[in-house]
Each structure stands twice: as structure tokens, then as C-alpha cells.
Amino acid sequence: MTANAAADSSFELIVIGAGPAGMAAATTAADFGCSVCLLDEQPTAGGQIYRSLSRAGPTNRVNGDSGAWKNTAGKQAIEILGKAYFSGLPLIEKLSAANVHTVHGACVWHVGLNGEDGVVTYSRQQHASRISGRHIIIASGAMERPMPLPGWTLPGVLTAGAGQILLKTDGLATDNSVLIGTGPLLYYFATQLIRSGCKPKALIDTGNGVNRTAIRELLPVALHYYRPLLTGLSMLSQIKRAGVNCYSGASAIEILGDSRASGVRCHYTGGKQINIDCDFVFMHDGVIPNTHISRSLQLRHQWNSVHHYHEPAINDGAVSSQSNISIAGDGSGIIGAEASAQHGKLASLTALKSLGYDTEGQSKNRQRQINAVGRARQFQRFLARLYPPLITTEPVADNTIVCRCEQVTAAEIKRCVELGCTGPNQTKAYTRCGMGPCQGRYCGLTVANIIARESNLPAETIGTFRVRSPLKPVTIAELASLADTPPTHTQMTTATHTNDDSR
Ligand SMILES: Cc1cc2nc3c(=O)[nH]c(=O)nc-3n(C[C@H](O)[C@H](O)[C@H](O)COP(=O)(O)OP(=O)(O)OC[C@H]3O[C@@H](n4cnc5c(N)ncnc54)[C@H](O)[C@@H]3O)c2cc1C
């Protein structure tokens, strides 16, 4: 059931995010007769991986506009995006048939607590609404790790994820591009570009090829995931067969151009330099959990030294340090789409139990889900070792813009460290970095990494930006429209937030 606006304002369960985790959580709860509201800022369900899937359809043609971007109309969507994209259809169909109050286009910008209840405020079509729920599941997924390089703010530079969004939503692809970075999504996107008839000019991997130690240590777990491994090998062979120039061990990367990207220069294995002309650059440095909502609630988070990111601390049932708030899917630490759906179900069953539903009959499923999620986390550790992020191997060059919103460079952050800054919140006060429209979502991790490197301190001791609502930009009119919603006194949780330098 899809709602135009939330007619009811009170639910037993609120799920934020309609990706695999959120869809599975919401439909599992609905199966038990629980009143559940599912919110997502996208116009259709599917999350990142199955974005726009309900509009694409397996036999539809991908339509697109022309201009700099090539119209891929005439090709079957399945031909370009691959079968894996369409494997999300059953989840989406189940959701549309379920008794779930689903609000699409709902951008959540505040989550708080009112006594025992969670309170969620969101905007939709310039109107803000506030709803309450006895339990909240945050399934806000992942985002791409920022990859700050000289020139990365030039027009013509996109992340691989953004390029993939254009392909999924509008059937747009472009040739004369160079792909740089590392991680499975970079290779996946390269094959999608090839299949859309837009072969990239080059793929420049910042990694150094096969990490034999990772393979030896984690191969037994990885073999459980032989299907994605085989997919990976098939992607490599497609890229090779297409004749894409591939380089590895890239360092000192610069994106060239005055008013827009015109090329890439870097060194690659053996210290050799390359200079490639291109019109578009797609960057990717892996994915990290989107923790903006969980951090705004000051839930407990921990540093994951294998993945090099902060993740929320949750128990086996996906419950956070606040008993009526759970975190499922990639937002809890990267686990991939299949395990995210399992994790969503698991989070839902745990929440249902605490809401008083009889979930005894599900105990076998619950154990299966816990095991599946555990294996997925180990597989992701394997991938993290194979594809280490650039920030772990190379310092950010001084002239690189770190905070795109406030145009703060790496040199300015380094200067803050010289002046005695010990954490991201102090640099915010000195330079305004993290204070723009993205609220530090894209620069936070980079700022923390620069501080750690410059002050020679372990990354886990540096902390994160303190996140405050509104999490996304809201207009005065949207704030004023809240007067139409019954008043609810909201307050933030008081759970401890580790390593916060702002106190
Ligand atoms: C750009 C990108 C592209 C990806 N492409 C692929 C791919 O092609 N293949 C693959 O195997 N994996 C891909 N991944 C990884 C994949 O997305 C995940 O493993 C999987 O989708 C995780 O499922 P999830 O339900 O946890 O989160 P997601 O699928 O990420 O869903 C999270 C949902 O939460 C919503 N949301 C977040 N914040 C808010 C808010 N404040 N208000 C309202 N809604 C909110 C988002 O709109 C989104 O729909 C991609 C990841 C990214 C970041």
C-alpha cells in the first residue's frame, strides 16, 4: 500500500529506507499484523541496488536523452544492467502487496525520542510531517566513500555510483570516460558501460593487484560466496575482452582541466606516468555505512579498522545502544544486498518480539539470518582487504578540496592540526568545513583521516563530526508547515558518543 502522505501519525514500527533491508523489515512486520510506516526519499522502492527497478521492468527499453550523454535506448535494460538488478523484483512486489504505509519521496531530516516513542520528521513535496513509532528501524544503507583528489570538483567528474544512477534512472551513459579508484562497484559499472555501448577509455585501479595474505586468510569464508566471486572473474574477463586499458597501483592521481575535466594524470605500478585525455571521470573508492541518522541520535558507534569507517554498535538482533532503535543492512556496516534483506528480516523479528508479538515460530529462521549476516560480514572483510581505500595508502594532496560545500582544502585542515586541533569538530569551528548543505556527510571521514595522519594518532581516536538536525536542507516553509502536524515534544537521546572532541 503506497500513501500519498502519512494520514496516520502513529505507528508501532517506523522503517527508514526502502532498500533490501527496509523492504524486508517492513513486509516481515506487516505479515505479523504490525502497523508499519516505511519512509524513503526516492520516488520508488529499491534502495541503491534496485533503484528505479519498478520503472525499468525486465523487458522495457532503457530510454535516455542525448547531449554529452549517449542515449542507450534500443538496448534492453537487462542487457545493460545485468540479471542481478532484476533479482530485486520479488522484494518490491511483496512490498507493494503488503499492508505497509509506504511514503515515497519522504526525506527524513530529524529522528528523536519522545519518552518511550521514536519521533521521525520528514519532508515531502515541500511539506514537513512528524510521525511517531514505538520502534524505529534505520535502514538508510550505504554511500560511496569520498575520494578527494586534485580536480575532483570539476564538471565532468562523477562517482561511479552517480554514473550508475543515471544509467538506472534515465538510461544515460557516456563514452570517452576514465574510471579511477577501487572496489567491486567500479568494475561492475565498467561492465555496464561496456554493455551500454560506451566502453571506458581506461580503468585505473588504486589497488596493487592481488593481496595474497587476504586471499590466504579469508579464502575459506570467501568460497562460501563463490557466486559473487565468479561474477567478479566474469567482470574482469568482460573488461579485458572489450580492450579497456587497465592500470593498477595508481598514485599521485590528478584530474586535469580548467573549467571541466579534460584528462587524468597519475603514476602506476613501477612508477611509470600516464596522461589520458577524456571528457568524463568516474571515481569510486568503496562504500561506507550511511550513519548520519544513527550519529544524530548519538547512538554508540565504533571504528572498524578493517574497513576504515565508523559503524553503529548493534547486537545480534540489530538493536542499537538505544533499545527501541535498530539498524539494519549496509547502514550497520557493509554486508551487501542479499544479507541486507536477511538483516532487515532479523531486525524486524527482534523489534516485533519487543513489541509483544509472538515470534517463537521464527527462531530457526532467526538463527539462519544471524549466520548469513555473520558470513556476509566476513566476506566483506575479504573484499576490504582486496580493495583497500586510497586514504590508507596515500595522503590527501594539499591543494585538494576536502569540503566541497565550503571549499575547504586539505592544506587548511592540516594547518588546523598544526594549530592544535585534535578532532573534526574543532576544524569545523576554524574553517566551516562540514557546515554546508551536506552537513559533513562527504567530508567527515576525510577530515578525520587527515587529522589522524597529520597528528600521528590512530584513526579510531579521532572521532567524527557531531551531527545535528536538520540532516538534510529544509526550507522555512517546510518548518512552518510542521504547525499542521500535532505537536510532539522531541528530545535527543543521551547515550554516549565516543571520541567526540566537541565536549
Ligand atoms: C551508489 C551506490 C550504488 C550501488 N550499486 C550497487 C549495485 O549495482 N550492485 C550491488 O550489488 N550493490 C550496489 N551497491 C551496494 C548496495 O546498495 C547495498 O549492498 C544494498 O543496497 C544495501 O541495502 P540497504 O537496504 O541496506 O540500503 P540501500 O539499498 O542503500 O537503501 C537505503 C535507502 O535509504 C534511503 N534513505 C537514506 N537516508 C534517507 C533519509 N534521510 N530519508 C529518507 N530515505 C533515506 C535511501 O533513499 C535508500 O533508498 C551500491 C551502493 C551505492 C552507495
Q: Quick one: 198 and 294 in the same domain?
A: no
pLDDT digits (tens, 9 = 90+) for 112-152: 998 889 999 999 999 999 999 999 999 999 999 999 999 99
Supply the CATH number for residue 332's domain.
Answer: 3.50.50.60
Please tell me if the CB atom of residue 183 comes closer than 6 angstroms to any atom of ligand 1. Answer: no
Give first-to-last CA distance, the chain, whole Å: 45
Q: Are residues 10 and 126 in the same domain?
A: yes
> Of all protein residues, whose CA lies closest to atom 37 belonging to ligand 1?
140
* pLDDT tens digits for range 225-284: 788 888 888 999 999 999 999 999 999 999 999 999 999 999 998 889 999 999 999 999
Residue minimizing CA distance to atom 40 of ligand 1: 108
Q: Is 465 inside a domain boundary? A: yes
Name the pLDDT band for 459 (thresholds 50, 70, 90): confident
| Cα angle for residues 470, 471, 475 (degrees, 5° grid) | 50
| 62: in domain | no
Residue type, 13: L
Distance (Å) from CA 288 to ligand 1 centroid: 11
Ligand 1 centroid–CA 168 distance in Å is 13
**Rg of the Cα atoms in the chain:** 22
Name the closest-CA residue to atom 9, ligand 1: 49
Interhelix angle 226-242/212-224, nearest 10 degrees: 120
Residue 491 has pLDDT above 90, yes or no: no
Among the candidates 248, 266, 285, a domain finishes at 285
Distance 293 CA to ligand 1 centre (A): 14
Is the same domain home to 309 and 365? yes
| pLDDT at residue 211 in the model | 65
366 and 400 in one domain?
no
Protein residue closest via CA to atom 49 of ligand 1: 47
Q: What is the dihedral of CA 316, 140, 472, 105, to 10 degrees?
A: -140
Distance (Å) from CA 335 to ligand 1 centroid: 11
Over residues 168-184, the mean pLDDT reads 91
Give the residue from 242, 259, 285 where a domain finishes: 285
User: Could you read off the pLDDT of 16-45 as tens digits, one per residue?
Assistant: 999 999 999 999 999 999 999 999 999 999
Take residue 465 and report the three cell numbers written for it. 563530526
Mean of the per-residue pLDDT values of the chain: 88
Point out the least confidently predicted range of 63-67, 124-128, 409-413, 474-478.
63-67
Cα(152) to ligand 1 centroid in Å equals 23
322 and 274 together in one domain: no
Q: Which residue has the cell 581505500?
A: 389
- Asked if 100 and 14 count as a contact pair (C-beta separation under 8 A), the reply is no
Percentage of residues in the chain with pLDDT exceeding 70? 89
22 lines ligand 1 (CB under 6 A): yes
Whole-number Å distance, alpha carbon 290 to ligand 1 midpoint, is 9
Cβ neighbours of residue 6 closer than 8 Å, sequence gap 6 or more: 37, 101, 103, 129, 131
Burial grade of 24 (CB within 10 A; 0-12, 13-18, 19 or more): buried
Q: What is the whole-number distance in angstroms between the Cα of residue 38 and the centre of ligand 1?
A: 15
Which strand (E) or helix (H) includes residue 31?
A: helix 20-31
Residue 70: band (very low, low, confident or very high) from pLDDT cuts 50, 70, 90 = low
278, 374: one domain: no
Number of compact structural domains in the chain: 3
Residue 501 has pLDDT above 80, yes or no: no
In short, whether 205's Cβ falls inside 6 Å of ligand 1 is no
**Measured from the CB, is residue 447 less than 6 Å from ligand 1?**
no
Predicted confidence at residue 408, as pLDDT, reads 97
Dmax over CA atoms of the chain, in Å, equals: 65
What are φ and ψ of residue 324, in 5° steps? -105, 20
SS3 sequence of 369-406: HHHHHHHHHHHHHHHHHHCCCHHHCCCCCCCCEEECCC
Ligand 1 centroid to residue 19 C-alpha, Å: 6
The helix (run of H) or strand (run of E) holding residue 193 is helix 184-195
**Residue 372: pLDDT above 60?**
yes
Q: State the pLDDT confidence band at 5, using cuts at 50, 70 and 90.
A: very low
Please report the atom of ligand 1 found closest to the CA of residue 160.
1
For range 467-473, the mean pLDDT:
92
- Ligand 1 atom 2: the closest Cα is on which residue? 161
pLDDT for 265: 97
* Ligand 1 atom at shortest distance from the alpha carbon of 109: 41
User: Which residues is 362 bridged to in the sheet?
Assistant: none
Q: Given pLDDT bands bounded at 50, 70 and 90, which one contains residue 401?
A: very high
Assigned domain for 494 exists: no
Is 71 a member of any domain?
Answer: no
Give φ, ψ of 477 to 5 degrees.
-60, -40
Pick the atom of ligand 1 nearest to 143's CA.
Answer: 53
Is residue 219 domain-shared with residue 173, that is, in the same domain? yes
Ligand 1 centroid to Cα of residue 87, in Å, is 15
Does the beta carbon of 140 lie inside 6 Å of ligand 1?
Answer: yes
The pLDDT confidence band at residue 210, using thresholds 50, 70 and 90, is low
* 300 and 264 inside one domain: no
**What CATH number is associated with residue 467?**
1.10.10.1100
Pairing mode of beta strands 177-182, 280-285: parallel
Which residue in this structure is represented by grid cell 523489534? 351
Letter string b/e over residues 465-497, b meaning 16 or more CB atoms within 10 A of that residue's CB: bbbebbbbebeeebeebbeeeeebebeebeeeb
Q: For the residues 147-160, what does the mean pLDDT come to? A: 96
User: From ligand 1's centre to the CA of 141, what distance in Å?
Assistant: 5
- Rounded Cα distance between 238 and 247, Å, is 16
Query: Prior bond to 470 cis, omega within 30?
Result: yes
Tell me, in angstroms, the distance from the centre of ligand 1 to residue 142's CA. Answer: 5
Query: Per mean pLDDT, which range of 370-374, 456-460, 497-501 is the poorest?
Result: 497-501
Q: Are residues 416 and 334 in the same domain?
A: no
Sign of the CA dihedral running 149, 155, 156, 161: positive
Please tell me what DSSP assigns to residue 465.
Answer: P
The answer, yes or no, to whether any atom of ligand 1 lies below 6 A from the CB of 336, is: yes
Q: Indicate if 162 and 281 belong to the same structural domain.
A: yes
Domain membership of residue 486 (yes or no) is no
Q: If residue 135 lies in a helix (H) or strand (E), which one and from where to where?
A: strand 127-138
Residue 498's pLDDT is: 35
Residue 489 confidence (pLDDT) above 80 = no
Distance from the CA of 139 to the center of ligand 1, in angstroms? 9
Distance of CA 81 to CAs 97, 103, 232, Å?
A: 25, 27, 15
287 CB near ligand 1 (under 6 Å): yes
Kindly state whether residues 114 and 29 are assigned to the same domain.
yes
Of 357, 383, 409, the residue that ends a domain is 383
In a domain, 499, yes or no: no
The pLDDT, as a whole number, for residue 3 is 45
DSSP string of 96-112, one letter each residue: HHSS-EEEET-EEEEEE
Helix axes 363-386, 212-224, angle to 10 degrees: 160
Residue of 49, 169, 193 to mutate, ligand 1, most atoms within 8 A of C-beta: 49
Instruction: Tell me the pairing of strands 101-104 and 36-40.
Output: parallel
- Examine the domain organization and report whether 253 and 325 are in the same domain: no
pLDDT surpassing 70 at residue 490: no
Segment 71-94, tens digit of pLDDT:
565 566 777 888 888 889 999 999
Measured N-to-C along each axis, helices 160-170 and 184-195 cross at an angle, to the nearest 10 degrees, of 40
**Cβ of 17 less than 6 Å from ligand 1:** yes
Is this model's pTM higher than 0.85 or not? yes
Ramachandran angles phi, psi of 454, nearest 5°: -70, -35
Range of the domain at 297: 2-50+88-144+288-383
Partners of residue 38 on adjacent β-strands:
15, 102
In a domain, 83, yes or no: no
49 lines ligand 1 (CB under 6 A): yes
